[in-house]
Every structure is written in structure tokens, then in C-alpha cells.
């Protein structure tokens, strides 16, 4: 069984190649970590997997959907329904309160009716019960990343993508956030593709892949 299949993926900016010959697949519920040197294209690859960035050669297939066959609008709709994304810099919207931030994916999907219970459930699940009315500026970095995890999973996506999600956190908070990310991913049965510099985080993956300029291979 395969949720995500990447075949011969390649990308360049102008004349400069970023990566080439990237082949791998991810099973439903699997946790794959991607490591690699700074600047090798890990964030670019993750953005391609989310349909946020385009590529030059090869294909990305998610279930029965060939992402390369979708236009920008179709890709955005696909992403809203099937992908959650956690970024290093949290990307929590500063003018929305915590509950509104978590509700955002549901609102984009037009699912406003089920929103309050679902949002409450996710806030409880990430240990932010009672903090729904707070503004992001009133939270710590670890709490902000919990908001981002709740937001990434609130719409039950099949695929969670995380780009250095503990990169801005101190080691103790980073371990707690990784614990939570893994527990929540498992509870939702989602697949997780995690880009990380952390050996401790990569060690918890089902598989670790190393991205280089020539392709991707088991680490």
C-alpha cells in the first residue's frame, strides 16, 4: 500500500539544479524522516509534496491523484483536504486567537458547523485546554508549535508534512513537541514526512532518507 509516490522528481532554479532523481514512497501511517545538508533542497522538496511549489521532471502521486495533472486551483483544493503542514517558524496568524487559528483549515473547507467541538478536541489533545481565546503573542514557542500541530491535523489529513518543526525550540520543549507530533499523527493514522536536523527526532522514524544533489537514499 502506498499513500505517496515520488518518481524521478527533479527541480532547478534557472540553470542551477536543486535536486534530481528523487524516488521514494510513503505508506499509510508511515513516519519517514528526511535529513540532508543545509541548502540541499529539503524544504523545496516538502513544498513540492504539498503542492505548494512546482517541479521540472518526474511525478508526485498521492493516492490516485497525480499532482502534476492538477492546475493551481485544483492543487490548492486538494491540499486543503489532504495535507497538514507544520513549519519551523510556527506560521500562526497573529491577529487570530488560538481557537481561530486551529479552526482555519475547517473554515477553508467550508465545515463551519462541526467546528467548535472539533477545535476544542484538538486544543485538549495538544494540552492547550482553556487557551483558545488567547492571542499568539501571549504564548511560548512550544505552545505556538502545539497550536500549529492542532491546526495541521484538525481536518484529519492523510499526510502531515513537517519542516524542522523543533528547530526554534529548546531541547526539552523540542522533545515534548516531537512526542506530541508523533502521538497525534498516530492517533489520526496519518503519514508523516518530517524534515529534521535532529538525530533524536530522526531516530524515532520508521525510515530515514538522506537527500543529496544526486537523489535520495536510505540513511
Ligand X SMILES: Nc1ncnc2c1ncn2[C@@H]1O[C@H](COP(=O)(O)OP(=O)(O)O)[C@@H](O)[C@H]1O
Give contact residues for Mg ion (rule: CB under 5 A): 42-43
C-alpha 185/C-alpha 163 separation (Å) is 15
C-alpha 154/C-alpha 119 separation (Å) is 7
Give min distance, CB of 129 to Mg ion, in A. Answer: 32
> Are 194 and 159 in contact, with CB atoms under 8 Å apart?
no
Q: Which of 13, 74, 121, 186 binds ligand X (CB under 6 A)?
A: 13
For residues 40 to 79, the per-residue mask of contacts with ligand X, x marking binding by CB under 6 A and - elsewhere, is xxxxx-----------------------------------
H-run or E-run covering 33? strand 31-35
Give min distance, CB of 43 to ligand X, in A. Answer: 3
> Are 211 and 45 in contact, with CB atoms under 8 Å apart?
yes
Kindly indicate which of the ranges 35-43, 64-72, 90-98, 149-157 contains the residues binding ligand X, using the contact rule CB under 6 A: 35-43
Give min distance, CB of 163 to Mg ion, in A. Answer: 6
Asked if 165 touches ligand X (CB under 6 A), the answer is no
For the stretch 106-127, what's the b/e string if a residue is b when 16 or more beta carbons lie within 10 angstroms of its beta carbon?
A: beeeeeeeebeebbeebbebbe
- The contact set with ligand X (CB under 6 A) reads 13, 18, 36, 38-44
Amino acid at each position: 500500500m502506498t499513500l505517496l509516490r515520488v518518481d524521478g522528481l527533479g527541480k532547478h532554479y534557472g540553470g542551477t539544479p536543486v535536486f534530481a532523481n528523487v524516488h521514494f514512497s510513503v505508506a499509510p501511517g508511515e513516519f519517514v524522516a528526511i535529513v540532508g545538508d543545509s541548502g540541499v533542497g529539503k524544504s523545496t522538496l516538502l513544498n513540492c509534496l504539498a503542492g505548494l511549489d512546482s517541479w521540472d521532471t518526474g511525478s508526485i502521486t498521492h493516492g490516485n491523484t497525480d499532482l502534476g495533472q492538477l492546475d493551481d486551483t485544483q492543487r490548492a483544493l486538494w491540499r486543503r483536504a489532504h495535507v497538514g503542514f507544520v513549519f519551523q517558524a510556527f506560521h500562526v496568524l497573529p491577529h487570530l486567537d488560538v481557537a481561530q487559528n486551529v479552526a482555519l483549515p475547517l473554515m477553508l473547507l467550508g465545515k463551519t458547523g462541526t467546528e467548535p467541538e472539533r477545535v476544542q478536541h484538538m486544543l485538549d489533545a495538544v494540552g492547550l485546554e482553556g487557551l483558545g481565546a488567547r492571542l499568539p503573542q501571549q504564548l511560548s514557542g512550544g505552545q505556538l508549535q502545539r497550536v500549529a500541530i492542532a491546526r495541521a491535523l484538525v481536518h484529519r489529513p492523510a499526510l502531515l508534512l513537517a519542516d524542522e518543526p523543533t528547530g526554534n525550540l529548546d531541547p526539552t520543549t523540542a522533545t515534548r513537541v516531537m512526542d506530541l507530533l508523533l502521538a497525534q499523527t498516530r492517533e489520526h493514522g496519518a503519514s508523516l514526512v518530517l524534515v529534521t536536523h535532529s538525530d533524536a527526532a530522526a531516530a524515532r522514524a520508521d525510515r530515514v532518507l538522506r537527500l543529496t544533489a544526486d537523489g535520495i537514499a536510505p540513511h
